[in-house]
Amino acid sequence: MNDAAFDLSQHFTPGLPAPAPRFTGLPKYHFVGGNNDPVQIPCEGLAEAAAAVLKREGSKLAMYHLAQGPQGYEGLRSFVASKLLRRGITCGMEDVIITSGSNQGIDMVVSLLAKAGDTVMMEEFTYGGALSRFRKLGFNVVGAKLDEHGLVMDALEAQLAGMAAQGRLPRFIYTIPTIQNPTGSVLPLERRHRLIALAKRFGVPIFEDECYTDLTWVIEAPPALYALDPSCVIHIGSFSKSLAPALRLGYITASWPVLAQLLPLKGDAGTGAVDQMVVAEYFSKHFDAHLTHLNKVLAGKLAAMQEAIAAEFGTAAETWTPLGGIFLWFRLPDAVDVRRLIKPAADAGIAFNPGPEWAVNGEAAKSHLRLCFAMPSIEVIRDGVAALARVCREQTGIPAISRNVQHGTTPTEA
């Protein structure tokens, strides 16, 4: 008998991700991820909604799926159908699957449409969670050109034509047309029609992610791609940004043959039932009022972050102008590799999303970064951007001027 200590780690399978660090709390200036404003969570309203719906329907928790089938709680599916009507999508609750956040929806859709070795297309700057998933699944990821309005159709047409000539068309085009992540653009209606025409011409499905569509306050977004032609589009959305990310609730809508094949890919015993019941109860009464208030708060925070970046980085920062959402995407001079700033920024209590994690071609985005303005207060935004500018100047000499003050700091590294 071997009395030596048993080392379970020796039995781990090869190729696992790097071990996770122990969580020690959020940094002082936390500008990463899709967190929301804690002050804007309607705790009292959610508590009232929970009490009401559990009193009325709580006995259904005794049964898997609340005895309403694997597509999700009927009350929430009905609300989603009414919400989608605002995006031009006509459907009933039978045309909706509730998912455990939009990430589960992404996993389900890509499992339906692609396998390892296949080529898939994304916007050149895109949701890092989807990008990392696609690469882990062994997809060949191709980026599509963006401008300040979203996908550039002439470039996309030429790209698809070239890929068709080589016999390697993508299995799908993943796009975030309404409040694009990370740029915050909204694809114009004419481009939406052209994207659908290109998808049908080349026989490539469109995977539409509208995670941020509720957070649009500058313009009224055109109809969803799925509304324009449901034959070639699968549509997903989420309540993570409009209400709370810790409530893991998203949804998929598509034609029934597509949904019927997606359901076996869900791979769980149902999305959290209480979460579904509470959100349906609350949003069926307070959706418009909640979003009107939240978007006003977010617009104020975005303005504060734009002002802080202009003051602290000056002309060294080139920012995109988001039309809603919770992120600001900007670029520093080519001499700055933001990956070099990650550790010194963390040492100063600052967390940010480096551009290479949100770009198909990481090297081309080495000077870009994404900051989330939703969670921190305006005071924290201002102080945090100033702290980030100090770290950047100490490490790179940029920005040389902030708040009209010339700095002579020599970068610590060549």
**Residue 208: strand, helix, or coil:** strand
DSSP string, 379-390: HHHHHHHHHHHH
Tens of pLDDT, residue by residue over 96-140, are 999 999 999 999 999 999 999 999 999 999 999 999 999 999 999
Residue 409 has pLDDT above 70, yes or no: no
Q: What is the mean pLDDT of residues 221-242?
A: 97
Q: What is the mean pLDDT of residues 213-226?
A: 94
Which residue is associated with the tokens 């702290």?
Answer: 387
Tens of pLDDT, residue by residue over 270-314, are 999 999 999 999 999 999 999 999 999 999 999 999 999 999 999
Do the beta carbons of residue 240 and residue 102 sit within 8 Å? yes
How is residue 410 written in tokens? 């020599």
Q: What is the mean pLDDT of the chain?
A: 95
For residue 267, the model assigns a pLDDT of 87
pLDDT band at 4 (very low <50, low <70, confident <90, very high): confident
52-58: list long-range contacts, CB under 8 Å, 24+ apart: 52/281, 53/277, 53/278, 53/280, 53/281, 54/274, 54/277, 57/277
pLDDT band at 3 (very low <50, low <70, confident <90, very high): low
Domains and CATH numbers, the chain: 17-41+289-406 (3.90.1150.10), 56-286 (3.40.640.10)
Percent of the chain surpassing pLDDT 70: 96
For 243, half-sphere exposure in the C-beta direction (CA atoms, 13 angstrom radius) is 25
How do strand 96-99 and strand 150-151 relate by DSSP bridges? unpaired
pLDDT band at 15 (very low <50, low <70, confident <90, very high): confident
DSSP string, 267-327: -SS-S-HHHHHHHHHHHHHHHHHHHHHHHHHHHHHHHHHHHHHHHHHGGG-EE---SBSSE
How is residue 272 written in tokens? 């959290």
Asked which of 145-149, 321-325, 404-408 is least confident by mean pLDDT, the reply is: 404-408
Q: What is the mean pLDDT of residues 198-226?
A: 96
Which amino acid, one-letter code, is at 331?
R
For residue 2, the model assigns a pLDDT of 62
pTM of the model: 0.94
For residue 400, the model assigns a pLDDT of 81
For residue 1, the model assigns a pLDDT of 56
Tens of pLDDT, residue by residue over 309-334, are 999 999 999 999 999 999 999 999 99
pLDDT band at 412 (very low <50, low <70, confident <90, very high): very low
